[in-house]
Amino acid sequence: LALCPQWPYCRKHCSYCSFNKYVVPAVDEVAVRACLVREARTLLRLGRVQSVTSVFFGGGTPSLASPHTVAAVLEAAAEAAHLPAGAEVTLEANPSSASPARLAGFKAAGVNRLSVGVQSLDAAELRLLGREHTVDEARAAVEAARGLFPGCTSIDLLFGLPGQSREAWARSLEAALGLCDDHLALYQLTLERGTALEARVRRGALPAPPQDLLADMYHAARAVLAAAGFRQYEVSNFARKGALSTHNLSYWRAEQYVGVGPGAHGRFVPWGEGSRQREARVQTPDPDAWMREVQSRGHGTRRRVALSPLEQLEELLALGLRTDEGITQQRWERFSPQLPLRTVFGGPGEAMALQQQGWLLLDSRGLRCTPQGLAVLDSLLPALLCQLQRT
């Protein structure tokens, strides 16, 4: 089981971000820490978790938390369940809160992998995104991270920014390749409703990036990274020398995870309540309300929905096909012992047609996208869901 603690605070709103995050003048870190610890303990016990295979501190900006808080949550996880010594523990870090000293503190607290939110290596783009760091700070942060977490540093980059050209993206990518370690995440910017950037594009103050340009950028990046020895192991994630993120993989493999902290999401079976059904859980988004709930009930679960076997398979399909390994026979059978992959997708129907068109593969290993198919997965999924629902 994977553990996902959320630190909901940021120092500044970024123009593109629609996550559950809060910019407040002062954070009562002692109280938040106590609540994170308590909720982690409660939920890990509820899930009868034997062993935590990975931890990912997300946010917000978790690098704004003190290493002490990170350590406290890890200790709680180790107490409530087992946390093996080699378990992957990732922290998301913003370049503006990733000084070598802080990073060393996180390392001492138990973090062994860093995901640095570089987003861009162009000063104008960083301003457009509303990031508070500069290009130099980003470079310095990545270098410091690589020094402390060699082979375990990832950087995030965004493409498809309003006004960004193919050439600008190619230059950014080139610069990132010169800077990066063995893991890169390249995200096409999604203009989320409710963000400042989306509003500017909708008003026409900024140009909406054309579909074909976005496709060009994506395909160009895939080619450049492949040439540099990176394996695209997920739609947006690239790694070399086997530096795949265990935590994210477990998510795409539809394994169980426990979300802790304001607005955190989880998927696990609450055995502790006598249930045997996997649930989708969401914690209360507002930090103050969340804290009050944790203080009074031990957890701040706002919503829990039991997932039917079909819904679990649908999630497995939508997530699993994002990876290059796809959905293995074994994994599918764990969710669906009665209906093997071949029974559902082997016969005449959508999957077969998509195979014939070269988007999909179904063989003894399992079901997966071809490299071409991966780029148009969202056009494949509705058809596959239709076929799944029929069987």
Task: Tell me if residue 108 falls in helix, strand or coil.
Answer: helix
- Print the binding letters for residues 220-259 with another protein: x by CB under 8 A, - otherwise: ---------------xx-----------x--xx------x
Residues 6+ apart with CB under 8 A from 319: 251, 252, 253, 254
Q: Is 31 in the site for another protein (CB under 8 A)?
A: no
Q: Which of 126, 189, 225, 249 binds another protein (CB under 8 A)?
A: 189
- Residues contacting another protein: total by CB under 8 A: 47
Residues 6+ apart with CB under 8 A from 354: 360, 373, 380, 383, 384
Query: CA torsion angle for 368, 370, 374, 375 (degrees, to 10)?
Result: -170
Q: Is 383 in the site for another protein (CB under 8 A)?
A: yes
Q: Is 322 in the site for another protein (CB under 8 A)?
A: yes
Cis peptide before 263 (omega within 30 of 0): no
Q: Name the minimum Å distance from CB 235 to another protein.
A: 5
Q: Is 170 in the site for another protein (CB under 8 A)?
A: no
Q: Is 339 in the site for another protein (CB under 8 A)?
A: no
CB atoms within 10 A of CB 53: 21
**Per-residue tokens: 20:** 């559950």
The piece of 77-85, 98-106, 108-116, 182-190 that touches another protein (CB under 8 A) is 182-190
DSSP 299: -
Task: Tell me if residue 17 falls in helix, strand or coil.
Answer: coil
* Rg over CA atoms, the chain: 21
Task: Tell me if residue 113 falls in helix, strand or coil.
Answer: strand
Parallel/antiparallel/unpaired status of strands 366-369 and 360-362: antiparallel
Q: Is 214 in the site for another protein (CB under 8 A)?
A: yes
Q: What CA–CA distance (Å, rounded) separates 42 from 44?
A: 6
The piece of 101-109, 269-277, 341-349, 380-388 that touches another protein (CB under 8 A) is 380-388
Residues 6+ apart with CB under 8 A from 254: 267, 312, 315, 316, 319, 320, 331, 335
Q: Is 363 in the site for another protein (CB under 8 A)?
A: no
Task: Give all strands of the β-sheet with 231-234 in edge-to-edge order.
Answer: 231-234, 237-239, 183-188, 153-159, 113-119, 88-93, 54-59, 2-7, 257-260, 265-268, 279-283, 301-306
Q: Is 265 in the site for another protein (CB under 8 A)?
A: yes
CB atoms within 10 A of CB 101: 9
Query: Toward another protein, which CB reaches closer, 34 or 220?
Result: 220
Q: Name the minimum Å distance from CB 136 to another protein.
A: 27
Q: Is 302 in the site for another protein (CB under 8 A)?
A: no
Q: Is 311 in the site for another protein (CB under 8 A)?
A: yes
Q: Name the minimum Å distance from CB 29 to another protein.
A: 23
Q: Is 377 in the site for another protein (CB under 8 A)?
A: yes
Q: Which of 132, 143, 286, 315 binds another protein (CB under 8 A)?
A: 315
Query: Toward another protein, which CB reaches closer, 147 or 309?
Result: 309
Q: Which of 140, 199, 206, 280 binds another protein (CB under 8 A)?
A: 280
Q: Name the minimum Å distance from CB 385 to another protein.
A: 4
Give the CA distances from residue 170 to residues 90, 161, 177, 224, in Å, rounded to whole numbers and listed in that order: 28, 13, 11, 9
Query: Toward another protein, which CB reaches closer, 225 or 235?
Result: 235
Q: Is 7 in the site for another protein (CB under 8 A)?
A: no
Q: Is 94 in the site for another protein (CB under 8 A)?
A: no
Q: Which of 51, 165, 190, 343 binds another protein (CB under 8 A)?
A: 190
Q: Is 188 in the site for another protein (CB under 8 A)?
A: yes
> Given the rule CB under 8 A, which residues bind another protein?
4, 19-20, 58, 187-190, 211-212, 214-216, 218-219, 235-236, 248, 251-252, 259, 263-265, 280, 282, 305, 311, 314-315, 318-319, 322, 357, 359, 374-379, 381-383, 385-386, 389
